[in-house]
A and B are shown apart, each in its own frame.
Chain A
Amino acid sequence: MDQALAIAVSILFLGTAYAMILYIISVGLSVTMGLMGFQNLAHGVFAMAGGYVCTRTMAEFGVPFLPSLVLAFVVVAAISVAFERLLYARLYGAGELEQVLFTIGLAFMAIAAAKFMFGPISQRVDLPDYLKGQIEFMGRGFPTYRVFLIVVGVAIIAALWLAIERTTFGAQVRAAVDNRRMAESLGINTGRLFTLTFALGSGLAGLGGALGADILPVDPGYPLRHLVYFLIVVAVGGLGSLRGPFVAALLLGIGDSACTILVPQIGAFFVYAVTLGLLLWRPQGLFGRM
């Protein structure tokens, strides 16, 4: 019985830590896709950019880890505003195919640019001493960094929830997701709202990329390698919701850990089967609007 409990604790703990990274990176994608109906396959680029900002500022300017995380958020959010205004905005009315192709093109260019600037090898992350090693709890060791991930993840989720549910900005976003024309006729500047939301979502992706850099190493192949997982979280969770991607990320993270620890023979099929099954059952995702 003790053994079973220990296994359950491991599954929950490791799965949740992984889910936090997935969630922080993907939530922005869910909101922007839901808000603007934009198929953004270049979202991983922002996560990769965050990872590079964090690791390079630490390596070259000696910025400590925590401030470099903040930098990752701010820099990526700022860059994304330029992207949104100059490029994405031209395609809001375009078809799905155009958006898919355009964003794949951006991802390709980003991959080549990353290779040119930072070389093909993954970036080194120097964690501060207080995040290394293990924390002893109830006679078991837990990797400190993953505990930190869960704490930060929960804090971000709480902040997001407050921002969306308790502020005017949040109310405007919700209104625009529900009914864009109605929101516009009530005098909400949806264009500006989009830009702000996009910046927030991309900034979060950057933060997620930086936070996750120690577990998902940052290298030029990053945007396409992890794209499938980000998209699965968004599609399964449902577009335009905060709750959906969270549940989907937990499901994916914990389910994957459980599958790995209990029945490793199933391997990669678990994720695919669950995704296909859930999408057949609820084509709009778990919490998507019909």
Chain B
Amino acid sequence: MAPHARDAARTSPVDSLVTRHRLRPLELLPWVLVIPPYWLFDTYLPLGSEILIMVLFALSLDLILGYAGIVTLGHAAFFGLGAYTAGILAANGWGEPISGLAAAAAVAGATGYVTGRIILRAHGLTLLMMTLVIVLALNEAANRMGWLTGGADGLSGIEMWPLLGLFRFDLYGRTGYVYAAAVLFVAWIFVRRIVHSPFGRSLTGIRENVTRMHAIGVPVRTRQVTIYAIAAVLAGIAGGLLAQTTQSVALTVMTFERSGAILIMLVLGGVGRLYGAFVGVPAYMIAQDNLARLDPVYWYFWVGLMLVVVVLFARGGILGIVDRARDLVVRRRP
């Protein structure tokens, strides 16, 4: 994509390939920013953990949308499956958080693998419709299986055990915040490795030119299904985290609207950049938290306008604007 191309222009091509995966100091910025709110804004921690969770969810979407180029309106299916798995376990007497997350990851990942194998041979509108229909069907299933999920009344009675047997999930959401931040950190390292691995590079290749990747012998379908399943695992973990930290799950975890919302947040930040999720999600959620308070009824208008403006004038999202601004400054230098 564009940013890499620019990097390459400044240094020699080989340099850029060799150093690409090295950690740049700027990449640690989100992690520095995560720490102070714990003390400074301690009454905002529930919002903070929700943002961290949505960042993880957006990061998983970035893997398939930004790197593999698969446009989906059904990613919330995996988020919801994860949330229901973790929630149902905790509501039925198994409130251990970490194994709950593992179960959420397993269920979402398995579903992602199976559905990925089935639907990824299609593309365009057909693929879009299949992802959409899957999330709608799962939502309806959760609605009808009231005995298991609580249906439209929501899943109640989730009781979490202390994290690691030590830290209780408290009223201020301290444990939840640290827990979400830690999980996101681990996921970020994992995603970063994938993106910079040969496997990740081949995904970008598939996005940019499928025919050529076929021609050089890359098993395109297998790669796509793999990344789809990995993204499903991460989305499932995000969903599980939401269920555990808020101790509630409702049908809205698994809707077309949630798929759309996460897509919007990611696009706002910038797609295919790894950090779009870290920028777009907080920007969107903080804006919603404030704007919706000022003018709740017409919040949708502003979201819509923002989408239109981003698509027409700022295709790289916020990070794209930052890139362009930096380029302007850099080029002006003698």
> For this complex, into which size category does the number of interface residues on chain A fall?
35 or more
Contact: A39 with B305, CB < 8 Å? no
**Alpha-carbon separation in the docked complex, A35 to B298 (Å):** 34
Contacting chain A: which of B19-27, B45-53, B130-138? Answer: B130-138
A231–B133 Cα distance when bound, in Å, is 11
Say whether A283 contacts B307, CB under 8 Å.
no
Does more than half of chain B's interface fall in helix, strand or loop, or is it mixed?
helix
Q: Are A268 and B310 in contact (CB under 8 A)?
A: no
**B256 within 8 Å of A by Cβ?**
yes
**A193 in the interface, Cβ–Cβ < 8 Å?**
no
CB proximity to A under 8 Å, residues B223-251: none
Give which listed residue, B65, B121, B308, contacts A105 with CB less than 8 A: B308
Interface residues of B in 61-83 (CB under 8 A from A): 65, 71, 73
- Considering only CB atoms, which chain A residue lies closest to B256 in the complex? A228
Cβ of B300 under 8 Å from chain A? yes
Q: What is the number of residues of chain B that contact chain A, defined by CB distance less than 8 Å? A: 41
- A113 surroundings in chain B (CB, below 8 A): 301
Q: Are A272 and B136 in contact (CB under 8 A)?
A: yes
A residues 97-141 in Cβ contact with B at 8 Å: 97-98, 100-102, 104-113, 115-116
B311 touches A111 (CB 8 A): no
Which stretch in B4-12, B104-112, B259-267 binds the other chain? B259-267
Interface status of A275 (Cβ within 8 A of chain B): yes
Taking a contact as CB atoms under 8 Å apart, the answer to whether B304 and A112 are in contact is yes
A98 to B300, CA, bound (A): 19
Interface string of A72-102 (1 = CB under 8 A from B): 0000000000000001001100101110111
Looking at the assembled complex, report how far the CB atom of B225 sits from the nearest CB atom of chain A, in whole angstroms: 15
Chain B 115-139: CB-based contact to A (< 8 A → 1; otherwise 0): 0001101101110111011101100
Give 22 pairs: A residue, B residue, CB < 8 Å, sorted on A: A39-B128, A96-B71, A101-B310, A102-B311, A104-B304, A106-B308, A108-B301, A112-B300, A112-B301, A228-B132, A231-B129, A268-B140, A272-B136, A272-B137, A272-B140, A276-B133, A276-B134, A279-B129, A280-B119, A280-B130, A283-B126, A285-B126
Q: Knowing that A102-B312, A116-B301 are A-B contacts, what are 20 other residue pairs whose CB atoms are under 8 Å apart, sorted by A's residue number?
A: A90-B312, A96-B71, A100-B71, A102-B308, A104-B264, A104-B304, A105-B304, A109-B305, A109-B308, A111-B304, A112-B304, A113-B301, A228-B132, A268-B140, A272-B136, A272-B140, A273-B137, A275-B133, A276-B133, A280-B118
**B residues within 8 Å of A by Cβ?**
65, 71, 73, 118-119, 121-122, 124-126, 128-130, 132-134, 136-137, 140-141, 144, 256, 260, 263-264, 267, 271, 297-298, 300-301, 303-308, 310-312, 315
